[in-house]
Chain A
Amino acid sequence: MIRVALVIANLALLAACDWMPGKPTAPEINRGNPASIHGFTNLWNVNCQGCHGETGMWGAARPLNDPLYQSLVTDEWLTGTISNGIPGTLMPAHAVSMGGHVTDEQIKEIVEGMRTHWTGTPPSYAAQSPAIINVKAPTGNVAAGLVTFNTYCSPCHGENGVGAMAGSPVDNSFLALASDQMIRATIVCGRPDVGMPDWQGNLNGKPVPQREGLAPLSNTQIEDLMAWITSHRVAFPGQPYSKDGNTSPGF
């Protein structure tokens, strides 16, 4: 009898217990241990969204939630970039072996997550797109590049790249922070979030008015553009007191 009463009392207490808002739900054992974070969204939110945007778009850095871009980069390339960063640019190395704090397993999770979470369909011409990875130093013709630029890019970036509504892509500080890789990827894939069309002249599947009547950029044209743009790199970029940037500011 007493036993039964005890069991009932106990059950009543337990039932009451789950009603209590104060009951803790899950242990917080791994606080402060970045290696314990799992799941693409969690990893993305902690490590990536600062620069690449909450949804993989509208970040300050390259939008990665871009079907064309995703179709042009390989898993190995993404893994390598996340692990080692892009030296000379603002993309830091994340792998633990490189002094970051994202484990190889987590990097794999991020790469796989980008492929499975962002389900946009790449455009039909994705397969014919110029390559954007493993870019070598540009070998194109600088003069031809300027002509191409003034045909294709100047409506937004200004005649000779002086910058119009989209600003200058040949500013020496910008070029010092942008890798050839990044410049080429931007020419080929555009930036669908901020409004730059891809090599076909399309923005999110629709042609932009500025590129009306122009053929898609050819690989040669892209090489020429790269050559012309990167020819603006200077020895001493970002010097406010040196006009051409090729002579040392002297201090």
Chain B
Amino acid sequence: MKNPILNWFESRLHLAETMGPSITHPVPRSAKWWYVFGSMTLVLFMCQIVTGISLSLMYVPSADQAFASLNYITFQAEMGWFLRAMHVWGSHLMVAFMTIHMIQVFLFGAFKYPRELTWIIGVLLFVCTLGMAFTGQVLRWDQDSYWGFSVGMSMAGRVPWIGPGLVHFVLGGAIIGGEALTRFFALHVFVLPASLFGLIGVHLLLVIKKGINEKPTPGVLIDKNTYEEKYHDLVKKRGMPFFPNAAGRDMIATGLTLALMLVCAMMLGPSGPSGEPNPTFIETAPRPDFYFQSIFAVLALLPPYMETFLILGFPVLAGATLILLPFLSGGGEKSWRRRPISVIFVLALMLSLGTLTLLGYQSPWSPVMNAWSGIPTPIKYVKGRTPLELQGAIVVQNKQCRNCHMLDGRGGQRGPALDDVASRLNGDQLIRQVIQGGGNMPAYGKNLSPEETTALTAFLSTLTNEWEHEPPSGYPMKPRPTQDPVPPFLPDS
């Protein structure tokens, strides 16, 4: 050590002495670009700390002020919106890269002997990160956040035996209000970050002590008696120091990651705040954040009898499987080329998550709550209709049919589109379907008068591809035969 000043510090801190071997620890040469995802996640976490602390300078964690302070940060504080955008995109990307990191580790067999504990700590890091994502969404304290919280509590309320107690424990009181927000604030800024710091420390320590997984060679099985010896041989003879050789790749990757986050923040902006979290503003259609879209979709599509099990059992089962994974499959083949089931599993998981997320964004199961008064009857279905049929068209609007059924591509998608309903159902079948409902349609029997049903059926009977009386454009009407929508039938004669 030439520099006397540095030497003075070093003789007191012993930094180079203690950290030196760590940052120059040898890594296998096969650790190429595949191994950068962990660093990418870590750098995003550090960035989250910076933007998070900055946001805490103006955020007020109080139920009556939080929303106002968020709007202040977003619309008045200088660059405030950009800070919020960076924080939310940092969070999205952190979840994304952490998932990729996990998949890479899984496919390269890095969770196997002797790195079981590294994997387990990683699973805990994943759980804590998702916890940060959910608590962060709650802190946004807008309508989506408020009702997302309500959904979370409805799930917690399903836990056998302790459900109700648990709900109030999480809420810190009776309802979603001030005490609930501060609990989540404490989790988001103290408890979870501290856990993350601690876990990351252990994770990195293990990475150094147990070494980075060598790129697996297909056909080479793990021998627990000789693995460590062989690995040390490998890195000693043919390895390279992490710093500066392998670190270069990591730094390029982390730089690009942060650049990606900046671009996302610039182009796509912050998330919300989407509306005052006033519970009396009920004319809202809450939607979850990106990571929960798949859960949102699953909960709409599951048969009800499986729901409670899946809401409560699946996370526990998934967590347990992940933690137990190194013990269930701790040895044997490492390479994904010889582990077809693992590859299929990852592909299936990604496909289903992707599909469910996409479906979550489309949410065809959600009624369009304002369709009945806000989406007009298509003009082509007004043209040439009789007075009765026009009343039927009003019934379609007035009775909220449009909330779940599309006409000419507009309206809800919960039920089938009605544009060609008359080619599928005849008059009697239409009446039966309307009166009795079925297949996720409420029975309208009690809610429609006979004249409304008749008018509705008359209108729906004109909705067919082959309606021969469609008037030509230019002239409003054209002669058509008298219509008797329902054949007369006397049951008691």
Contact = CB atoms under 8 A, between A and B. Distances in A.
Interface of A: 10, 13-14, 17, 20-24, 27-34, 45-54, 58-61, 90, 92, 101, 156, 158, 162-169, 171-174, 176-178, 193-195, 236-241, 243, 250
A194 B75 contact: no
Contact of A60 (B373, B384, B393, B453): B393
Given A31-B275, A164-B479, A195-B477, A178 B376 contact: no
A237 B482 contact: no
A241 to B, nearest CB: 6
Contacts of A51: 373, 376-377, 394, 397-398
Contacts of B143: 31-32
B374 A45 contact: yes
B374 A28 contact: no
Contacts of B385: 60, 167, 194
Contact of B483 (A22, A54, A167, A177): A167
B382 A22 contact: no
B436 to A, nearest CB: 15
User: Which residue of A14, A173, A177, A236 has the most chain B CB atoms within 10 A of its CB atom?
Assistant: A173
A29 B269 contact: no
A156 B199 CA distance: 81
A108 B319 CA distance: 58
Contacts of B82: 17, 20, 23
B452 interface: yes
Nearest to A20: B266
A7 B452 CA distance: 69
Given A92-B398, A237-B451, A59 B75 contact: no
B451 A177 contact: yes
B373 A241 contact: no
Interface of B: 67, 71, 74-75, 78-79, 81-82, 85, 143, 265-270, 272-276, 278, 281-284, 370-377, 379, 382-391, 393-398, 402, 431, 449-455, 458, 476-480, 482-483, 486, 488-492
Given A29-B71, A59-B377, A167 B387 contact: yes
A51 B376 CA distance: 6
User: Which residue of A10, A32, A177, A238 has the most chain B CB atoms within 10 A of its CB atom?
Assistant: A32
A162 B454 CA distance: 17
A48 B377 CA distance: 11
B374 A46 contact: yes
A32 B143 CA distance: 9
Contacts of B452: 90, 173, 177, 238
Contacts of A239: 450
Contact of A101 (B283, B390, B489, B490): B283
B487 to A, nearest CB: 8
B75 A22 contact: no
Contacts of B377: 50-51, 53, 59-60
A48 B373 CA distance: 6
A30 B390 CA distance: 35
Contact of B394 (A49, A58, A60): A60
Contacts, number: 209
A176 B451 contact: yes
A101 B370 CA distance: 12
Contacts of B379: 53, 58
Contacts of B384: 165, 194
A90 B382 CA distance: 16
A50 B81 contact: no
Given A29-B276, A34-B283, A53 B387 contact: no
A60 B450 contact: no
10 contacts: A27-B71, A50-B373, A50-B374, A51-B394, A53-B376, A60-B396, A164-B479, A165-B479, A174-B386, A178-B391
B275 A236 contact: no
B273 A28 contact: yes
A176 B431 CA distance: 18
A154 B305 CA distance: 59
A47 B376 CA distance: 10
B376 A23 contact: no
A49 B477 contact: no
A32 B283 contact: yes
Given A50-B371, A53-B379, 20 more contacts: A22-B85, A29-B276, A31-B284, A32-B275, A47-B373, A49-B374, A50-B402, A51-B397, A52-B376, A59-B377, A101-B283, A163-B386, A163-B483, A164-B479, A173-B451, A177-B452, A178-B387, A236-B450, A237-B454, A243-B490
A238 B284 contact: no
A167 B389 contact: yes
Contacts of A46: 370, 373-374
Contact of B79 (A17, A24, A49, A243): A17
B370 A194 contact: no
B450 A237 contact: yes
A21 B267 contact: yes
B387 A174 contact: yes
Nearest to A49: B376
B269 A24 contact: yes
Contact of A32 (B284, B397, B477): B284
A61 to B, nearest CB: 5
B81 A194 contact: no
A59 B382 contact: yes
Contact of A14 (B78, B282, B450): B78
A54 B376 contact: yes
Contacts of B75: 24, 27
B199 to A, nearest CB: 32
B465 to A, nearest CB: 21
Nearest to B147: A32
A166 B385 CA distance: 7
Contacts of B486: 240
A176 B385 CA distance: 18
A219 to B, nearest CB: 22
Given A50-B373, A238-B453, A168 B387 contact: yes
A106 to B, nearest CB: 13
